[in-house]
Amino acid sequence: MPKGQPNAVPDDGLTTRQRRNRPLLAVHTGPGKGKSTAAFGLALRAWNQGWPIGVFQFVKSAKWRVGEERALRVLGDSGEGGAVTWHKMGEGWSWVQRDIESSEEAAREGWEQVKRDLAAGTYRLYVLDEFTYPMHWGWVDTGEVVSVLRERPGTQHVVITGRNAPEELVGAADLVTEMTKVKHPMDAGQKGQRGIEW
C-alpha cells in the first residue's frame, strides 16, 4: 500500500513530471505464485488508460493463461480501453511464415519481434511472460536485452515475468518484486485447479 510519496527527491535533473512519465521496466520473479497474474493485473490498468498492450507469451502451453487471454481479448475488443495484441509462442508466433525448428529458435524469434515493436513504439505496455527462462537458459542474450531496453524510445513500459531472473536484468529494472512461496496446495498433494491455476 505505497502512499505514492517517495522517500527522497533524487538529484537527477528531472522534473517530477518527467520522472513520472519515465518508462518502467518491471520484473516479477521468485518461486512463488502471482508473477504472471500480477503482470496481467497491471495490463488491466494499462487497458483502462487506453494504452495499446502487447503480450508475448514465451512458454509453450495450451492450457495456461487461457483465462487471462480471453479476458484481455474481450477487453481489447470492447473498444472501451486500449487494444490488446496477444502473441503466443506455443502456436508459433503469428508473424513467422516458416516452420520453427525448436523452442530456442521460437524464443529468439519472439525477442526479435519485441525489438522491432520497441523500435517502432508499437505498444505502451509489453508483457513479456516467462521471458526470464530464455535468458536464463542462454537462448537470448541478457546483455542485449538490457541494452535494447535501456535504449528503447518513448514511454514504453515493460514487465518481464518468470523465475531465475538474471542478475543483470534485475540490476537494470526499476521495479523488482520477488514472489516467495510460503505455502502451496501442491505441497499437500493437491493438483492444479481449474479457475485457479489456469
Residue from the set 89, 106, 169, 173 that interacts with a copy of itself by CB under 8 A: 173
Q: Give, as ranges, the residues between 81 and 140 that touch a copy of itself (CB under 8 A).
A: 81, 124-125, 130
Provide the minimum distance between the beta carbon of 193 and a copy of itself in the complex, in angstroms, as a whole number: 6
Q: Give, as ranges, the residues between 178 and 197 that touch a copy of itself (CB under 8 A).
A: 178-197
Picking from 160, 117, 125, 118, the residue whose alpha carbon sits closest to that of residue 44 is 125
Question: Residue 40 CB: number of other CB atoms within 10 A?
Answer: 20
Residue from the set 86, 157, 160, 169 that interacts with a copy of itself by CB under 8 A: 157
Of 37 and 85, nearer to a copy of itself (C-beta) is 37
List, edge to edge, every strand of the sheet that includes 125-129: 25-29, 157-161, 125-129, 53-57, 84-88
**At residue 160, what is the residue type?**
I
Question: Considering only 27-35, 87-95, 115-123, 141-149, which stretch makes contact with a copy of itself by CB under 8 A?
Answer: 27-35
Question: Considering only 90-98, 103-111, 137-145, 162-170, which stretch makes contact with a copy of itself by CB under 8 A?
Answer: 162-170
Residue from the set 54, 134, 162, 166 that interacts with a copy of itself by CB under 8 A: 162
Q: Are 178 and 33 in contact (CB under 8 A)?
A: no
> What is the Cα–Cα distance from 107 to 129, expressed in whole angstroms?
11
| Cβ-count burial 107-123 (b if 16+ within 10 Å, e if not) | bbbbbebbeebbeeeeb
Provide the minimum distance between the beta carbon of 70 and a copy of itself in the complex, in angstroms, as a whole number: 5
Of 9 and 98, nearer to a copy of itself (C-beta) is 9
Of 48 and 95, nearer to a copy of itself (C-beta) is 48
The answer for residues whose C-beta is within 8 angstroms of residue 189's C-beta and 6 or more apart is none
Q: Give, as ranges, the residues between 53 and 82 that touch a copy of itself (CB under 8 A).
A: 59, 66-68, 70-72, 74-75, 78, 80-81
Of 22 and 116, nearer to a copy of itself (C-beta) is 22
Q: Are 163 and 130 in contact (CB under 8 A)?
A: no
